[in-house]
Structure 1
Amino acid sequence: MGPSWVAGAIAAGPATIASLVTGGALFGYSLLWVVVLSAGAGALVQYLSMRLGLLTERGIVAVVEDHLGETWAWLLVADAVIASGVAQLVIMKTVATVSATVTGVDARVWGVAWALILAVGLAGRGYRFLELAAKLLVSLVVVAFVASLFVVPVDYGAAVAGLVPSIPSGGALVAAGILGGAVHITLITMQSYTMRSRGWTRDDYDTATFDIGASMLVAFGIYSLAIFLVTASVLTPDNTLTAVGAAQALGPLVGANAKWLFLLGLWGAAVSTLGGNTIVPPFLLADKLGWGTTIDDSRYRGLLVVVALLSAPGAFIGGAVLGQLVLVLALGTVGTPFAIAIVLYLLNSDAVPDRNSTLANVGGVALLGVTVYLAANFVREQVPDGVDPLAGNMAGLASIDPLPGAVLAFAIALGIAMAGLGVKYVAEELV
């Protein structure tokens, strides 16, 4: 096993924890169905990405450029780099904050320290070092959160009711965040590169499939369920919803053991995600520029160092980290449908020797529909009442805060690109 555990390390991160904590505290068990869906959806999208990577034995950007053109390749790179870059800063803030809470050392000092550790570790040791760390940290994080589940009283009867699909008022952002932890553009685009770094080919198809099931379906699924059930059972909207505050709130409610298990799990998840997320922009940019995607190429190694060091300013960002983490995942959800559409397009073209099966296509299209629905709900929540972006209400659009406004522009651009991709595919099939 290997590459999918790196994806799992990113998925099982503080942004996912933030969404799960927020969903459990604000809405109780009502979003449990989204938690269950996220594990299955995460495994499915990784399977589709794995097929594309193994059947072409190339990086996804190079395949897109060959079969769709340079513009589409740059659009995919921009989509992934924006989503992972914004996430990198907030994840670093989480790592630094939790490190400061555990050790008492200033979070800003930890931000600089972790950036240097990333630069030296990834640029000096390469992919196999990251994969080993991901396997170890994800395993320990899962154990920590499962252990916390055993010291917290869970109302399993109420939990079963949460398996009925519904989105409570104000819950679209959180639902998008929960699903975005498992179905994210960074996870989709990195899969072909991590498999190449591991040396896997078409002959490793069965191993790669098992790898996805073990890491995303089982490990990530258990991780998500444990965190959500703990927070839905204990936390309430009256609790201070911060990344560390959620762990600290467990202390007086259910004891110090739950507090420290949750806090250490958050720490491990943040560190593993920070390392995994760092390699995504260098992979995509190096492939687009025609460089190597291993540390044997000094240019790729330089990109690793740059991305690692640019993470440090995240520790200096103000504000409550939990809300920022949920927004980061939701932003990723906006960018994800385009990546899924790209993968489905290529898997049903002459880019691969064996086209997708009907079952895989049905699952992929269903997943595309779910992500589009959640992304659309999230974007709608960011737009002020009375604003119709399609009608060109510029006065209303001007009143949108800069960050939600940027998310809206991002969503519109990718929506147009997806529509163009659909038209292109239909036209080619008719010809």
Structure 2
Amino acid sequence: MSEFLSLLRRIGPAIVVAAVVLGPGSIVSASRVGCQYGYQLLWLVPLASLLMISLTVTSMAIGVSQRETPCGAVASAFGRPIAWLVGGAMLVAITMFQASNNNAMLMAAEGFMDPVDTQAGQPAAASALSSRLVRTAVPLVFNFAIIGLLWASRRDLYRVIEKTMAVLVAAMVVAFAINLWFASPTLNGILSGLIPSLPRGSTAEGIDTVSWMASGALVATTFSVAGAFYQSYQVREKGWNVSDFRLGVLDTFVGICSLGLITMMILITGAAALHLKVAPESLTDASAVARALDPLFGDAARYVFAAGVLAGAVSSFVVNALIGAVVFCDALGMPSKLSSIHVRLTTVGVLLLGWVVAAIGVLTEVPLADFIVVAQSLTVIAFPALAITIIWQARRIQTGLLPVWVTPLNYLGLAVTLLLSVRTIMGLIGT
């Protein structure tokens, strides 16, 4: 038992991955999928979690056994321009994640506001927040606060991030477990949802086809190739080597299972409390979801749900930009350690770029929930390049290091990323 507790105290990299992946995209997508399809797509979450575990374990093995960084290895084998493409793919994915994180901060803030009554007039706080100018300024202020924290924590930045992410993941577990408890889901519904099948219908009036955009966003936010790709850099940052691989596998299972568990809790809550009771398109922000849950939970629902969204947004916000900066600097051939000035400057650029994209969404008055689902779906376009890079580098790992079940799951994961990418492009162009 003491040995097991010692191992638990040393885990961390996959918890960071789970925290950055478990952002507003997972929360909004899971809520809306549960509301629209009930339990019918629940099986996608454990499948995506299994694929995520496999690819994360592979990326970790690359990090502990390969001297070169992932993008450095690509540059050595195929030339620096190809490494630029890999880094660019990561930057696209991270920018979309970061844009949705900015808007999620607004969703969380709105969740703490009083519901808006257009007949009686808006409360002052809600009215101020609804101003487009304020809605772009609030995330900008938060970005500058993160930038200040980044420059103030030059020493032991990774250790600070690791501990903070563990606390935020725990906060999300508590917040969404409370919602799940009061939703009172049925065991038969949960078990039936774990059997792979396509939705039979999302409304009482008829049969719906699968919403590829919503289900694709749900899979993409759980099976995040960008998060798995970064695992290789994390274990290098932590100083792990081949002897730490066994610990790393445990770490991966703990972190990714936490991610899958929370996503399932959110989806099940949406299925139990909102399916066939609330129109999915009405869930435009955190306060709208909370108001839909009010008949079950009372006024506390708004604060519990908003707290979970806020924890998810903050956890994803802090690390997400660092991930993009680290990989992009590596792709350019610059130092990729968190302590590097190049990484810090690039992180600032990623933060501001994400804010710009989010601000455009606010100024064009795109509903926040729709914006997040679209932004998260767009990330899957960049995922195949990252998945191919991981699978290619896995060939360089010493024989016997990777478990036998990893390779077939990696190829299945690559097929899923390609399918989601094609379907997303088709959905965006309206075909």
- Report the TM-score when normalising by structure 1: 0.83
The amino acid that maps onto 1:84 is I
Matched, 1:352 2:412: no
Paired residue for 2:3? none
From 164, 167, 171, the counterpart of 1:133? 164
Supply the distance in 2 between the matched residues of 1:279 and 1:92 (Cα, whole angstroms).
Answer: 15
In the alignment of these two chains, the number of paired residues is 382
Matches of residues 26-425 of structure 1 in structure 2 within 5 Å? 26-102=36-112, 104=125, 106-125=134-153, 126-168=157-199, 169-217=209-257, 219-236=258-275, 237-238=278-279, 240-244=282-286, 245-313=288-356, 314-315=358-359, 317-318=361-362, 319-348=366-395, 351-354=396-399, 356=402, 358-385=404-431
Supply the distance in 1 between the matched residues of 2:248 and 2:403 (Cα, whole angstroms).
Answer: 18
Q: Partner of 2:197: helix, strand, or coil?
A: coil
- Unmatched tracts of structure 2, length 5 or more: 1-10, 114-124, 200-208
Pick closer, same or farther for the CA change 1:130–1:107 going to 2, 3 Å. farther
Supply the distance in 2 between the matched residues of 1:188 and 1:35 (Cα, whole angstroms).
Answer: 16
The amino acid that maps onto 2:411 is V
Paired residue for 2:15? 5
Pick closer, same or farther for the CA change 1:296–1:163 going to 2, 3 Å. closer
Pick closer, same or farther for the CA change 1:247–1:38 going to 2, 3 Å. farther
* Residues 52 and 228 in structure 2, CA contact (< 8 A), matched pair in contact too: no
* Residues 52 and 225 in structure 2, CA contact (< 8 A), matched pair in contact too: no
- Unmatched tracts of structure 1, length 5 or more: 386-431
Return the offset for 1:182. Answer: 2.0
* Residues 80 and 335 in structure 1, CA contact (< 8 A), matched pair in contact too: yes
Supply the distance in 2 between the matched residues of 1:15 and 1:305 (Cα, whole angstroms).
Answer: 22
Supply the distance in 1 between the matched residues of 2:300 and 2:184 (Cα, whole angstroms).
Answer: 14
Supply the distance in 2 between the matched residues of 1:92 and 1:371 (Cα, whole angstroms).
Answer: 25
The amino acid that maps onto 1:377 is R
Supply the distance in 1 between the matched residues of 2:181 and 2:168 (Cα, whole angstroms).
Answer: 20
Matched, 1:21 2:61: no
Supply the distance in 1 between the matched residues of 2:110 and 2:355 (Cα, whole angstroms).
Answer: 14
Supply the distance in 2 between the matched residues of 1:250 and 1:315 (Cα, whole angstroms).
Answer: 29
Pick closer, same or farther for the CA change 1:193–1:40 going to 2, 3 Å. same
Pick closer, same or farther for the CA change 1:8–1:57 going to 2, 3 Å. farther
The amino acid that maps onto 2:58 is L
* Residues 111 and 290 in structure 2, CA contact (< 8 A), matched pair in contact too: no
Q: Partner of 1:354: helix, strand, or coil?
A: coil
RMSD: 2.1
Q: Partner of 2:210: helix, strand, or coil?
A: coil
Supply the distance in 2 between the matched residues of 1:102 and 1:384 (Cα, whole angstroms).
Answer: 36
The amino acid that maps onto 2:323 is V
* Residues 54 and 205 in structure 1, CA contact (< 8 A), matched pair in contact too: yes
